[in-house]
Structure 1
Amino acid sequence: MKLLSIHKICLVVIPGVLLSTASCKKFIEVDVPIDQVSADKAFLNDATALSSVLGLYANGNLLPASGSTENSLLGAATALGGAAADDIYLSSATYLDEFKTNTISTSSGYVNNTWNYAYAVIFAANSAIEGLNSSTGVSPAVKQQLLGETYFMRAFTYFYLTNLYGDVPKVTSTANSVNLTLPRAPQAEIYEMIISDLKIAQNNLADAYPSAQRARANKAAATALLSRVYLYIKDYANAEAQATTVINNSAYKLESLDSAFLNTSNEVIWQRFTFYGYSIFGRNFVPSGTTPNYVIYPSLAASFESDDQRMAKWLKPLPIGNITYYYPYKYKLRDATAGNEFNVLLRLAEQYLIRAEARAQLGKVTGAGSAAEDLNIVRTRAGLTGTTANTQSTMLLAIEKERAHELFAELGHRLFDLRRTGRADAVLGPQKPTWKSTAVLFPVPANQILYNKNLTQNQGYN
């Protein structure tokens, strides 16, 4: 496996695509190929600026068009984060077992690469912010729009980086002379930056999407992510308010279980475009042969209520000998030439669950405008009766369970939920003989500490 290092990331701008490359030792030693455009020309006018920012969405470090799902930031959050919790794991091979058993090595190539995937996207976003701010040829309206999208993309990337590793270097420029020696910033400081970026995005972006099929960020995408961030930092009043803004937007509604992940779904708040209409998750989760690559944990499968329609619609049983595996089937297409599935990254059901949890924490447990009301909207879509939870403690546990059933195999939600609520030991300890409390975070890659002596290791990995 090829390992990347943050200090070897350089920005290459190609019309329509922003890429990062790890093949250079120093930026000044690299000649710009004739089919590439220098950074100063990438933001020369509206057309070149748009082309460059669109490349952020296509950046394979965030999510690839093909290949193994774990070889990208969001794929790693889903596959590796899922295995580290009790969500999803690789059943067809053993090379990711260290995540399943929570015995991750600091020298793990997957840990190192995931770190670099994030910083490659962040570097590209910082380059775009600098290029747009310094440009005199981009019109004010286009500059405002593109800055909003770029700040959103940086916030989105940092959210996953900090939830996988905790405290991380706060890289806000392309000045490698500074970036190479940055220490880890406290997670609280990273969240402050994320919130600041998302507020800029909210102010800059319109309600209308700037592209078809919700493939580029709009104001609602920034608001949806902001509601999640507020929930994570326990600012429940703001989490409720931001989620309410999205829920009250008539552009969004819960779809049927069969339609929720289609690229025409009105449940989708933001999705990543795919050229052939099939998702990288469907490509990896739907088996090509007799054995699925990824399956959900048996404990998760056993925890669904018997009449929960998500078991029939979003999971597929596959008996192998005496074992019945269940693999994720939210995405139905393993491949296609003109399919109808993109990669869904933000959707409305999560907003109801965010608001439900925020309301429960604020003491609004039952009745009108309560946690129960929001939770039951998600449960009703799944074919379930209303919740019986009627106290704050039972409601929070009911919401935790509902999130596990609604958001499984999606972007690391389960690991993040158990960590932020302090419930990881209670839930994962009895299931995993090698579980330890510090396993809620990945180790800082040993390679990064070797390159940057100012970095420190997470607890439990020294």
Structure 2
Amino acid sequence: MKKLTYLATLAGSMLIATSCVDLNQEPQSFISEEEYISTINQESLEKAVSALYNNLWHDNYGFNSRIQRIQVCADEITYRAAKPGNELAYYDQLSPNIGANTADFDTSWELFYFTIANANKLIYFAKAPSDATEEEVTKFNSVLAEAYFMRGLSYFYLVRMYGNVPIIPENGNETTINCPLSTPEEVYNKMIVPSLEYAVTWLPETPRSGNSSTPTKWAAETCLADVYITMAGWPLKKEEYYAKAAEAAKDVLDHNEYHQQEANYEDLWKETNKNNSEFMFCLHHSHANKVMASNYGKSYYPADFYNKKEEKARNGWADYYARKEAFENYPNDKRKKWNFMTEWYSTANNNQIVQWQDSPDGLPCISKYYNYNQGNPGENAQANGVTCIYRLADAKLLYAEASTRATGSVNQDALDAINEIQKRAGYEDANIALTTTTDPQAFLEDVSKERSYEFFAEMRRWFELVRTEQVSVKRAETWNGSFFQTQGHYYFPIPSAQILLTGWTNNPGY
């Protein structure tokens, strides 16, 4: 393994990366990385674990960008057709292209395995000091549990995106190119579920960092519920896991005292309130401090945007728009006004206001993250804010769905869970009926709709449509003849470099 000349560098930058190259190098040093990690103290462990969140972020166009891009396959966001050679068109047509979309696959594969490899090193080598008290050992293990959480989460994304993927040994002596592909079921049973179970056992009930930048026990248990409900759907279809998902989500709802539902939906997405307790686990961004900046800057503004306050053109990149149907079918509740920009000053209209229908691209904009732009709409490519991976609303809707699928009936707790979200959205004030049906199929349809409204543009929708096999229904206009339809799966291609180096067989059709 790679050796470190100066131990001080490890505490700050943490661990070496893993990729498709051989890491078994032997530069000279005084002590091995493994030896250093095995004697790591509490403070250094916390710094090392915190570096895993940078690994997951990867760069400005890493996790935050790549996971959003694949959501164009789903039914809530779309792309700018007027942009020449826009690679997102392949996702819109449900036909990913191994060449045109290669940066998405290369980047996501690398960032997840980078995170896994570094988490593995900590899990395998880091040990509490031999003279530590029981209390100190518990504290040490609670921090180490963050590495387990990050490993489980990373594998979870990998199997949903790529299907068969390699399992990397904890000892760090092998890389992806030295390992065979494992089936999704093997990865779930050997890595994802055990990692998250450990995290649930050892993570604290309140975040180490004081905010959602580090996960709690409840974040891990919500992720575990998400894992179980996914195992119950496509491709494993092990329906017995619906009960496990319901049990995990219900435990979060019944016993968590830290994560509480924010009173106002829009306050979730304000920079000044991004440390609210409803967020369970997020990547925290800071453009100003150059710490894990997000892609919420120009990507979400229209190509013809004019900043009236500055009297200056701030043309956005228009990477993402809302789908017309998603906007038109969205209930007229409090969330809709916050989530969509329907008019703006336009350079294509002599710097005067244009309605979305009359704009050059003819689509409504996604305004959910606009408050993250430091008060300068459209000025910067990167922005502040958070990328929310789990929040309390996830646990509520996971429970509502999983309990109904597990029992074939709708219980009062499930109704309460969805109603709490609907009431915050202002259904009653807007004379929109709350969900009251106890018909299982009608209720599940309401839950799916509510999830699409509540988590609009939060990078969840594609994974839901895949596990419930609803892509052909929600994207019916494109389904027939699409790549996913003809190949009979929903996976993206394993990066070409991995295939060339390993001789693996790629997913069908690539």
TM range (shorter): 0.7 to 0.9
Q: Displacement of 1:432 after TM fit? A: 5.0
8 A Cα contact 1:372 1:387, kept in partner: yes
* 1:417 paired residue number: 464
Partner residue of 1:447?
A: 497
Pick one of 81, 93, 112 that aligns with 1:101: 93
User: What is the CA RMSD across the aligned residues, in angstroms?
Assistant: 3.2
SS of residue in 2 equivalent to 1:282: coil
Give the length in aligned residue pairs. 441
**1:404 matched to 2:452:** yes
- Corresponding position of 2:105: 111
Q: Deviations over 1:200-257 (max 9, x none)?
A: 1111122122112232122111111111111112212221221122223232222111
Measured against aligned partners, the alpha-carbon deviations of 1:62-111 in whole angstroms (never above 9, x if no partner) come to 2256x3xxx3235312222x112223234274133222223223342322
User: What is the aligned partner in structure 1 of residue 163 from structure 2?
Assistant: 166
For 2:88, the aligned partner's letter is L
Paired residues of 2:266 and 2:335 also in contact (CA < 8 A): no
TM (norm. structure 2) is: 0.77
Cα displacement (A) at 1:362: 2.9
Q: In 1, Cα distance between the equivalents of 2:2 and 2:62?
A: 18
Give 1:229's match in structure 2, choosing from 227, 232, 253. Answer: 227
Aligned equivalents of 1:410, 1:20: Cα separation in 2: 30
Contact 1:101–1:434 (CA under 8 A) maintained in structure 2:
no
> Deviation of residue 33 (structure 1)?
9.8
Q: Distance in 2 between matches of 1:133 and 1:456?
A: 38
Name the SS of the counterpart of 2:229 in structure 1. helix
Moved more, 48-57 or 23-32: 23-32
For 2:491, the aligned partner's letter is L
Q: Specify the code of the residue in structure 2 equivalent to 1:263.
A: K
SS at match of 2:342: strand
String of CA shifts for 1:401-434, please: whole Å, max 9, x gaps: 22112222213x2111111112222222324565
| Structure 1 residues 213 and 175: alpha-carbon distance in aligned structure 2, compared to 1, 3 A threshold | closer
Question: Which of residues 129, 145, 170 is equivalent to 1:148?
Answer: 145
Greater mean deviation of Cα atoms: 213-222 or 135-144? 135-144
Gap change, CA 1:172 and 1:23, over 3 Å in 2 = closer
C-alpha separation between the residues in 1 aligned to 2:458 and 2:507? 25
Equivalent residue runs for 1:9-408 within 5 Å = 14-18=10-14, 20-21=16-17, 26-29=22-25, 31=27, 38-42=33-37, 43-59=39-55, 62-64=56-58, 67=60, 71-80=61-70, 82-91=71-80, 93=83, 94-107=86-99, 108-133=102-127, 140-177=137-174, 179-192=176-189, 193-234=191-232, 235-248=241-254, 249-255=256-262, 256-261=264-269, 262-275=273-286, 276=288, 280-283=294-297, 285-287=299-301, 289-291=314-316, 292-305=318-331, 307-318=332-343, 319=356, 321=359, 324-336=362-374, 341-363=385-407, 365-366=409-410, 368-369=412-413, 371-384=414-427, 385-387=433-435, 389-408=437-456
Q: Is the 8 A contact 1:415 1:440 kept in 2?
A: no
Shift in CA distance, 362/416, structure 1 to aligned 2, threshold 3 Å: same
Contact residue 2 and residue 24 of structure 2 kept, 8 A: no
Distance 1:58 1:114, change over 3 A: closer
1: CA distance, partners of 2:178 / 2:279: 39
**Residue 187 of structure 1: how far off its partner (Å):** 0.8
TM-superposed CA distance for 1:22, in Å, is 7.2
1:458 aligned onto 2:507? yes
Distance 2:319 2:107 in 1: 21
- Residue 3 of structure 1 corresponds to none
Change (3 A) 1:142 1:100: same
